[in-house]
Structure 1
Amino acid sequence: MSFYHEHILPHLIALTCSQPQIMKKRSQVVPAAEGRVLEVGFGSGTNLEFYDPVRVERLFALEPSKGMRRKARDAVDKSPLEIEWLDLPGEEIPLDDASVDTVVLTYTACTIPDVEAALAQMRRVLKPGGKLLFSEHGRAPDPGVAKWQRRIEPVWKPIAGGCHLTRKPDALIAQAGFRIARMEEGYLPKSPKFAAYNYAGAAVPA
C-alpha cells in the first residue's frame, strides 16, 4: 500500500462518508442490525453510533486497510459492543457458513475489486433467516448523469480508493442470491450528482 492509501485516503474517506446526508442514511439502516452482525468495510467505525447494543450480540468488523483500522481505534475502544476485527477483504470472509444474522454494507460495495465474489461471501455466511442491510451510491437512472459517471470514473477511482460510480447495487445484490425486501433510492441532497444517487434498504436470502 502507498503512503497515500494508508495515511491520507482513510482521513478523506472518513470525512466524506460522515457528511450529514450520508449519516442520515446510515441512521435509517444500521439500527435494524441484530444478533451476530458482520459489517463489511468497517472503515473508521462511522456506523458504531447507530448500532443498538441491546440487539447486537457480537459485531465482526471486516476492514482490510491498516490505515482505516488505526483510525477506528478510538471509536472501537469507546463502543459498548463486543467487536472482533477481521482484517481480510470482502472476497475472503473468514466466517463459517450461515453464521451471522445480519450483514451491514454501507458505502463499501463501490470500492470492492471483485464485488460479485464479496456479495457471494456475504450470502454464504448469512443465516437462512438473516438480512443484508445496505446503503450504497451507484449508477444514476438519468442518462445525462450516467454519461458523466462513465466519463469521470476512470479519474475518480485512483483518488477515491477504487470507488466505482457506475455500479448498480440493487442488481448486484439480486445477482448474488438475495431478494430485495425494501429499498429507497434517489439523489442525496447537497452532493455532486455524479456520486449522489443512493440505494438503501434490506435484502434477504432468495
Structure 2
Amino acid sequence: MSTLFSKIYDPIMRPLEKMRMGNIRERLVSQQEGVILEVGSGTGANFSYYKNAEKVVAIEPDSSMRNQSFPKVKNAHVPVELVDASGEHLPFDDNTFDTAIGTLVLCTIPNPNRALQEIRRVCKPGAPILFLEHVRVDRPLLGRLQDWLTPFWKRLCDGCHLNRRTLDLIKQNGFRVERIDKYYKDIFLAVDARNEK
C-alpha cells in the first residue's frame, strides 16, 4: 500500500464515519466476546468500539497503516495486539479465535478466497464471522459504473476493487450467512455469518 493513500485514508473516511459508518462498525463489533481476529485493521478505525473482547489480534500488512493505528491501540478499551501479516497467510493455529471481523478489507486483498479459507481455518467451529464490505451492486447502471471505474480506482486506492462480489465469496467459502444489513443503496453490506466446519 502506498504511504500517500494510508496518510489520506482517515481524513477521507472521517465524514462517512461521522455520518453513519461509525455506528455500523459499533453495531458489528461492540458485543463480540473472547479472542477476536481483526483482518486488515488498517488505521484502527474499529478499535474504540470493542467493549467486551478479551483481546483483539489485529493483522495489517501495511506498515504505514499499522503505525497510524498505534494511538488507537493505546486508547482502546480492550487489549489490542498488532501483527504484521496478510489475510492470505495467517500465522495462527487452527481453531484459535472466537470471532473474526473484517471491515472494508476483502475489496483489497489480492486473493480473497485464500483469505476467507484462512479465516475459516483459524476460527473455531460456529464462530461469528462479521464483515462490513462494499460490493458490486446488481442494478445495471450502477453495476456497470463500478466495473468501468474499478481499474482506475484500484490504482488510486491501492488495489481496492469497487466491483467485487464479496457476499458470493463469503458464501462460497464455507460460511453460513445469518443476517445481511444493506446501506448506501446496497453498496455497503454488513454480513453476520458463522464458521461452518
Report TM bin, short chain.
Answer: over 0.9
**Pick aligned residue for 1:13 from 9, 14, 38:** 9
**Pick aligned residue for 2:67 from 56, 67, 70:** 70
Q: What is the RMSD of the two structures over their aligned residues, measured on CA atoms? A: 1.4
C-alpha separation between the residues in 2 aligned to 1:177 and 1:15?
36
Q: CA deviation at 1:32?
A: 2.9
- Identity, % of aligned positions: 35
Give the partner amino acid of 1:92.
H
C-alpha separation between the residues in 2 aligned to 1:201 and 1:103?
12
Q: Say how many residue pairs are matched.
A: 193
Give the TM-score of the pair, scaled to structure 2: 0.93
Q: CA deviation at 1:161?
A: 1.4
C-alpha separation between the residues in 1 aligned to 2:195 and 2:61?
25
User: Which deviates more from structure 2 when the two are superposed, residues 75-84 or residues 153-162?
Assistant: 75-84
C-alpha separation between the residues in 1 aligned to 2:10 and 2:80?
19
Residue pair 1:17, 1:23 contacting (<8 A) in 2 also = no
Give the partner amino acid of 1:95.
F
Q: Name the residue aligned to 1:201.
A: 191
The SS at the match of 2:98 is strand
C-alpha separation between the residues in 2 aligned to 1:17 and 1:200?
17
2:166 is the alignment partner of 1:169: yes
Q: Name the residue aligned to 2:148.
A: 151
2:172 is the alignment partner of 1:182: no
C-alpha separation between the residues in 2 aligned to 1:32 and 1:108?
21
CA deviation vs aligned residue, 1:83-129 (integer Å, no higher than 9, x gap):
22210111011111011001011011100000110011001011013
C-alpha separation between the residues in 1 aligned to 2:11 and 2:137?
23
Give the TM-score of the pair, scaled to structure 1: 0.89
Q: Which ranges in structure 2 are unaligned for 5 or more consecutive residues? A: none
2:114 is the alignment partner of 1:114: no
C-alpha separation between the residues in 2 aligned to 1:159 and 1:121?
28
